[in-house]
Amino acid sequence: MGELIQYITDPANTFADHTRDTIVLCLVPIVLSLLIALPLGVLVARRPIAAFLATNVSGLVRAIPTFAVLMVMLLLLKQIGFTPSVIALTALGVPPILLNMIAGLRGVDPAAIDAARGMGMTRLQVLARVELPLVLPVAAAGVRSAAVQIVATVPLAALIGGGGYGEYILNGLSNEANAIDLFVGAVSVALLALLTEAIFAIVQRAVTPAGLRAGLQAADAAIGPTDIEAPREKAA
């Protein structure tokens, strides 16, 4: 433990700079993913063909290994560093948010929309006052998933000069004598991912209406162990 603290506090290891680079490399793709996925989800959700294409393309992007996306960005942009790393990480963060936005908007009760229109609301008013408040918990879950994915993948950006904690990990893997580098990099990324998960879990809970939270908790409480085990016994 003392060796770890000494390593972090040693100015030669530039831990503060690596931490800053990692946080920036996380925040920028998360913000860009939000700016791209949320409006796109609103635009395509009510258009069956567009929603179908967006859903399938998003699923395809999620199936592509992140390392491959990084290499493609490197080849297309012909440069290394921050920009290709951000583009690759943004491509990773858009699909979860977009899929949740589409699923959430398409799942809004048509009766609620019809009632809002019957009250004289315009299309934008229906979206802002009825649909988006109902979709917020689902969208927040997508943002939470995307944020954790981005944070957990940031170390790979070091392969194309993105910097951050990934440099510690690469140093540790390249030389057994630098095992402390590997440990510091891995633990730092893990802690940052856990912190991100906790923050966005709080945000998701905050945007979930109290009535919906109570309903979900009641539903969970209603599912007892016997309800879960019964199908298994029947199958046996």
Q: What is the mean pLDDT of residues 43-62?
A: 86
Does any domain span residue 27?
yes
The span from the CA of 134 to the CA of 136, in Å, is 6
Ranges 22-36, 64-78, 154-168: which has the least confidence: 64-78
pLDDT at 211: 62
Does any domain span residue 16?
yes
Model pLDDT for residues 110-127, shown as the tens digit of each residue: 888 888 888 888 888 888
Does any domain span residue 163?
yes
Does any domain span residue 133?
yes
C-alpha distance from residue 110 to each of 79, 119, 130 (Å)? 49, 14, 11
pLDDT at 232: 44
Residue 135 clears pLDDT 50, i.e. is over it: yes
Does any domain span residue 120?
yes
Residue 180 clears pLDDT 60, i.e. is over it: yes
Does any domain span residue 216?
no
pLDDT at 233: 45
Domain count, the chain: 1
Does any domain span residue 91?
yes
The span from the CA of 165 to the CA of 153, in Å, is 11
Residue 4 clears pLDDT 80, i.e. is over it: no
Q: How many other C-beta atoms can be found within 10 angstroms of the C-beta atom of residue 198? A: 10
Does any domain span residue 93?
yes
Q: Which domain holds residue 27?
A: 2-210
pLDDT at 57: 86
- CATH number of the CATH domain containing 157: 1.10.3720.10
